[in-house]
Structure formats: C-alpha cells, structure tokens
Structure 1
C-alpha cells in the first residue's frame, strides 16, 4: 500500500483551494465532475480540499503529513510569505535533516522535512 490522498478540511473550499494552489505550485488542479470536487494532484498524490463540517472540522487535531523539501529554511520562508505560521520547530532529526510544523490560515498543520541551509 502507499498513500494516495490527504483530505484537508477548510471553512471555505474556494479560499482553501486558492491557498493550497499557491502553497504547492507544482500541483495540478483537477476537477472531478461526478463529485463536484477540485483536487490538487502532486506527482500522483492527491490533496483534496474539503468543506469542514460538524463531523470533521478544520484544525490541528491529529495526523500531520510531512513533505520533503530541499532546504528547510527556504520552505518555511515561502510558506510564511503565503500566510502560514510556524507552529512547532524547526528541530534537528536523523541524517542531518530538520523538521517543523506550520499552521495554514485555516488551522491545519503542514509538516516539512529537509536539509538545513548550511548542511552538506
């Protein structure tokens, strides 16, 4: 098995989709007409931006998906420029890498893992 999709719950789907398209510019927006749903395809992995509701709200209440990035500090700066806020870290982890969590404008967490700028 391999991960196929991540559902990101937001209070306004269009605003959420617009933000995530900026945050993941390599993602291709795909409209699934049968479900009236826009998804972002990122190299075969799908981000589904979904309306939060009474059963599943937006926010940081559990699972965090970590994205591999080339240089951690540059990725943090890019997400911060889009309105994300550093939530936890950065901290050193195995193999000379660092990791952190950022909070998107909707309260969800995005994990990043990558090399530090000055590491070889």
Structure 2
C-alpha cells in the first residue's frame, strides 16, 4: 500500500552541485541525509526535498515519489489496476529503488522504496 509522500525532486541545472547543496543546507538549516553526485536529499519533517542536477527546470516540473515497501509488488498491483510502467524499476544506490508509472490518464505516478528514509525523524 502507498504509505505517504516521500520525495519532491526539483530538477536543477547547476554547474556546481556542491554550491547548490551548500545553499540549500543553509536555507533549510541542515545537511542532506543522502549526498551523491547524481542526487542530494534532505529530510524535512518526514518529507524529502531532493536536488536533481540533471533536470531541466520549467520542462519536467517537480517530480513527486510516494513511499512504498516492496516496490515490485506495488508496481505489479498498480499495473494490474491499469497503469503502465514508464521505464523500469531503478536501483539508485544504497538500497533505494524508484519507479515511474503512467496512470490510465497519462499522468506520472512515482514510487520510491527507501530503507534509509525515516518518516518519523524530526529535525
């Protein structure tokens, strides 16, 4: 079952992800909990704000991922209900797996299985 909103990923075009990470760390008053060259994630009161440096602002918009356990089973369940897998389930490192589906109306539905993310953490 879907467990709640987990990630809002903002596509950025920045020449220096380290500078962007430092700026968001200052704005948010905390360091990221996930810090890789391809993605930086901050835990904000049980929700994630993510920085994705390869995005194109203004074209893709914000991508939202809903937390699940057992992503294969959840993808299969939602596909059975009429969605189509958009791409594949991707392992993005450290046990985190993501999938994009298209609902029957053409909208993207993002799922994320993230064993590192603590929805109960308060910072």
Scaled by the length of structure 2, the TM-score of the pair is: 0.41
Q: Which has the higher strand share?
A: 1
User: Which structure ranks higher in relative contact order (CA pairs < 8 Å, sequence separation ≥ 6)?
Assistant: 2
Q: Which has the higher helix share?
A: 1
